[in-house]
A and B are shown apart, each in its own frame.
Chain A
Amino acid sequence: MKWYPVFLREMLLFRAKLFRLGYIFSSMFVPLLYLLAFGLGLGRSVRISGGSYLEFLLPGLIAMSSMTNSYNWVASGLNLGRLYFKTFQVLVQAPIPPSAIMIGEILSGMARGLFASLMIIIVGIVVGKGAFLTPIFLAALLLNCFLFSSLGVVVGMITKSHEDTSTYSNFFILPMAFFSGTFFPIDHMPTLLKGIVLMLPLTHTNILMRKAHVDAGFIISAGVLVIYSILIFLFGASLIRNYSE
């Protein structure tokens, strides 16, 4: 439980931000914009795999939002804490193991990702499209939050300035949000592009989230996510362990 104060601190910071008017609105704005523009605009004239486009889009938006929110919370928190506010020093100088910092930060990123997901899930339920909420979906969501929180640790620890964080977002996170099956199925992509897309972790989150039952595809995608998660987690943990100013 040495990780708990690290996690609690992040949650107190999150609560302080929540009280600031507009924070929830601005963090909810992008997924709601996509929902309105694609789901209700484009969606009325498109049907995918036998269902409405909105039914296809909702899990994708949740995959995307949980990714960006988990990642951004941890990456910018660590980046600013290291380089600007220096609050990371307090954690390093405390008598807790590096793994406690790692776990506390990742859990806080997961909480942030789940909070953003919950907003979209509520919208889904309100519009009567809550059928995607299966145990497989929830397990995939948790794994996705874990993976991108871990990635947030890696980026938060290696960036040399705060601008770097948005560079990584623009070149890695944002393209992944568009090409990994969030807005359209990857089945009909050109082979080369599909090969690249299948290497992206978010693609497998999207595949898992839309699985109704366990099959071979499920096992492959789950395996890819778990392997990515473990590798990124270990890399992030070593960055924290070897931290030196």
Chain B
Amino acid sequence: MPEGMIRVEGLGKDYGSIRAVDSVTFEIMRGETFGLLGPNGAGKTTTIKILTTLSKPSSGRAWVAGIDVVKDPSAVKPKIGVVPQENNLDRELTVHQNMFIYAMLHGVKDKHLKIEEKLRMVGLWERRDSPVQFLSGGMQKRLLIARALLSEPSIFFLDEPTVGLDPQVRREIWDTIRRIRARGGTILITTHYIEEAEALCDRVGILSKGRLIAMDTPKNLKTEIGSHVVEFFKDDGSLKRVVCKSKEEAQRIAARVNDTVTIRRSNLEDVFIKLTGERIER
């Protein structure tokens, strides 16, 4: 049995005439944090929906923990924890009620102990009797993570875990994700934040219009296009970027520009622009 905890082969999904996911193939190893990076509408959420048994693919195959998600979805469900992009908590129920129902649905043993442990972990134990609708966006996201942890799954799916959250809350969520990773969990995370992919992921797959156009460690992806970027404003006011193989090359180019010049290390956004000609974060 190979180590691949999540495996996808030629995966495709059509919605009418729109091809949301187009022959995507990748494999995620045990204990790895893998990021699917791409702009909105690139097919990230659809891929997660297929892997978490919510949606049936139009073509290709997918395995989670070695189990075919289409043929045997009920065997996949106990192994996964899902943090959806859209909050799917019961807003009228309290924090504790949401956790309790989930624990029952997943047949969690020692429910009350586990609920307390996970709520303390994300700092929501004091708010356990509050209806969810009175929690802030960041708290609701933390509750979603705590809930996904309840059944102590070995494979996690986090769909845009920090979208719409302020920077400080975003860092708190990152810390929580790092703690899941430290316990040896396999994590698939989707994001359209460059910083998030670089901060959390061992490997990144770049999705554009349903297709996986690159896949490697963030470091290798960046080295491949060039380690440094020179940025300056052209006479017409538009921003010009030049990707360079080395810092020395960047400095040579910068010396020829009369205006203010920035030299910085390349990031995954530069990789995406290089590959597609478009930006990720819009």
Residues of A that sit less than 8 Å from B by CB:
4-6, 8-9, 12-13, 16-17, 85-87, 89-97, 244-245
Is there an interface contact between A92 and B93, defined as CB atoms closer than 8 Å? Answer: no
What 1/0 flags go to B74-94 for Cβ under 8 Å of A?
100110101010111111110
Residues of B that sit less than 8 Å from A by CB:
49, 52-56, 74, 77-78, 80, 82, 84, 86-93, 97, 101-102, 104-107, 131
Is there an interface contact between B90 and A86, defined as CB atoms closer than 8 Å? Answer: no
Of A6, A12, A94, A245, the contact of B49 (CB 8 Å cutoff): A245
Residues of A within 8 A of B78 (CB): 95
Question: How many CB-defined contacts (below 8 Å) exist between A and B?
Answer: 65
Is there an interface contact between B74 and A244, defined as CB atoms closer than 8 Å? Answer: no
Nearest CB of B to A102, in Å: 15
Residues of B within 8 A of A4 (CB): 104
Of B86, B101, B106, B107, the contact of A86 (CB 8 Å cutoff): B86
Nearest CB of B to A123, in Å: 29
Of A12, A85, A91, A93, most B-chain CB atoms within 10 Å? A93
Is there an interface contact between B52 and A9, defined as CB atoms closer than 8 Å? Answer: no
Is there an interface contact between A87 and B90, defined as CB atoms closer than 8 Å? Answer: yes
Of A16, A17, A89, A244, the contact of B88 (CB 8 Å cutoff): A89
A92 to B88, CA, bound (A): 12
Chain B residue nearest to A88 in the complex (CB)? B88
Is there an interface contact between A93 and B52, defined as CB atoms closer than 8 Å? Answer: yes
Residues of B within 8 A of A94 (CB): 77, 102, 105-106
Residues of B within 8 A of A9 (CB): 90, 93, 101
Is there an interface contact between A89 and B93, defined as CB atoms closer than 8 Å? Answer: no
Is there an interface contact between A245 and B55, defined as CB atoms closer than 8 Å? Answer: yes
Of B80, B93, B101, the contact of A5 (CB 8 Å cutoff): B101
Nearest CB of A to B198, in Å: 29
Chain A residue nearest to B75 in the complex (CB)? A95
Is there an interface contact between A93 and B80, defined as CB atoms closer than 8 Å? Answer: yes
Can you identify 5 A-B contacts, CB atoms within 8 angstroms? A12-B93, A16-B92, A87-B89, A89-B82, A91-B105
* Closest 3 A/B residue pairs (Cβ): A5-B104, A94-B105, A86-B88
Nearest CB of A to B257, in Å: 50
Of B52, B56, B84, B101, the contact of A8 (CB 8 Å cutoff): B101
Chain B residue nearest to A9 in the complex (CB)? B101
A12 to B92, CA, bound (A): 9
Is there an interface contact between A12 and B101, defined as CB atoms closer than 8 Å? Answer: yes
Is there an interface contact between B54 and A245, defined as CB atoms closer than 8 Å? Answer: yes
Is there an interface contact between B80 and A97, defined as CB atoms closer than 8 Å? Answer: no
Is there an interface contact between A17 and B90, defined as CB atoms closer than 8 Å? Answer: no
A89 to B53, CA, bound (A): 9
Nearest CB of A to B114, in Å: 15
Nearest CB of B to A207, in Å: 39
Is there an interface contact between B107 and A13, defined as CB atoms closer than 8 Å? Answer: no
Residues of B within 8 A of A93 (CB): 52-54, 77, 80, 82
A92 and B54 in contact (CB under 8 A), knowing A4-B104, A245-B49? Answer: yes
Given A6-B105, A95-B105, 11 more pairs with CB closer than 8 A: A9-B93, A16-B92, A16-B131, A85-B90, A87-B89, A92-B53, A92-B54, A93-B54, A94-B105, A95-B106, A96-B105
Is there an interface contact between A95 and B84, defined as CB atoms closer than 8 Å? Answer: no
A5 to B104, CA, bound (A): 6
Chain A residue nearest to B49 in the complex (CB)? A245
Is there an interface contact between B105 and A5, defined as CB atoms closer than 8 Å? Answer: yes
Chain B residue nearest to A243 in the complex (CB)? B54
Is there an interface contact between A244 and B56, defined as CB atoms closer than 8 Å? Answer: yes
Nearest CB of A to B150, in Å: 11
Chain B residue nearest to A101 in the complex (CB)? B105
A74 to B55, CA, bound (A): 22
